[in-house]
Each structure stands twice: as C-alpha cells, then as structure tokens.
Amino acid sequence: MRGAKKLKIPPPCFLQGEIGRCCCIWQRVCNYDGVRMMSLTILEILDKKEQQILSRWQAAAADRDENPGLLKDKKSSGQFADPAGYLLRKNTRRLWLWLIEPEKDHDIIQPLEEICKIKAVRQLKPTQALGFILSLKLILQEELLNEKGSYKAELEVLEGRIDAMALEAFDIYAECQARIYELRFKEIKRMYGRERG
C-alpha cells in the first residue's frame, strides 16, 4: 500500500479522448488559484449545512455497502462497538474537509485508503463500493437549490474536486483488491502444501 501523500498538480496534458479529459480535470480542480476563485459565501453555506450533508453522504455510503444500518444509531456505535461504521464516519468527514478547505492542504490518501480497505474486504464491485463519492454531487446540488444567488461556477469547481477524489479512490481500491487476492492466494497455497505434507 502506498504511503500518505498529497494530491499534486499533474504536468500539462496533451492527451486526447477520455484519458486526456480526466487529466485535464486534475489540472483544473487541483489548481489552487482556481480554488481561490470560489466565493466565500458558498463555503459558508456548506459549512452551516455540514451536518445534514455529511449525514446524507454517510447514509449513501452505507446503503451502497449493502448495510443500511451501518450508520443508523450513532449513539450506540463507537470505535469498538462498530469499528467499520466509526471509520466510515471519521474518514468521510476528513474527505469533506479536504473538499471545502483546499487552502489547508488536507491529506486525502489516508482516509480513502481506510474506506477502500473496508469496502475491498466485502468484495464489492468498484462502482458499488465507491459510487457514494460521486453521489455527493447531487447532494450538494440539492442543498444549494433553495439558496439565493447563483453558485454554478463555484459548484463546478467543487464537483471537479469530487471527480479527482473518485479517480484517486478507484486506484486505491484496485490496489486493496490486488493485495487481498494475493493474501488469499498465499493462504490457499500454504493450506495445499500442508495437505500434501
């Protein structure tokens, strides 16, 4: 598993097609000058709505994990009583802070790794395990729907950062799956060797 790192701006992209489009997303959304153009107002609105946004996002993560009750009772679940739910809540909030506080340079790799490890153990398909990340786009759109003013440009920047988050998550999830398959293969090989012995 890779060590903790920060997302970096990639070099200029001259690729065509889908790969080029994805690289250009990285260039656009990870550029700090572009992030600074976001209105403080939209960040203030999202900060005030943090609890309800996180609640909806975490519920989406639990539903896609085929365990709707994972986050149902926060009072009775904790780090030891419900470790999976605890890690999911903790790390989705860390991802949220990365999204709305770009100037603080939050780490995104470690929270994504912890979430991906939980999902990979359950042998979920990548889209099923990580689709909740992209669902945050719709949640933000709905939460801003009744707010006064136009936030289209600022929302596009945030949605681009969510795309970058999802791309990184899919890479990490693939690494987690590969590691699990490797461990299972070694265990089967060890058991087979024991039986022959």
Domain boundaries, the chain: 40-196
- Phi, psi dihedrals of residue 150, rounded to the nearest 5°: -110, 125
- pLDDT at res. 163: 97
- pLDDT at res. 186: 85
Residues of the chain with pLDDT under 50: 8-34, 36-37, 68-72
- pLDDT at res. 150: 81
pTM reported for the whole predicted model: 0.72
- pLDDT at res. 15: 36
- pLDDT at res. 134: 97
CATH architecture designation of domain 40-196:
Orthogonal Bundle (1.10)
- pLDDT at res. 188: 83
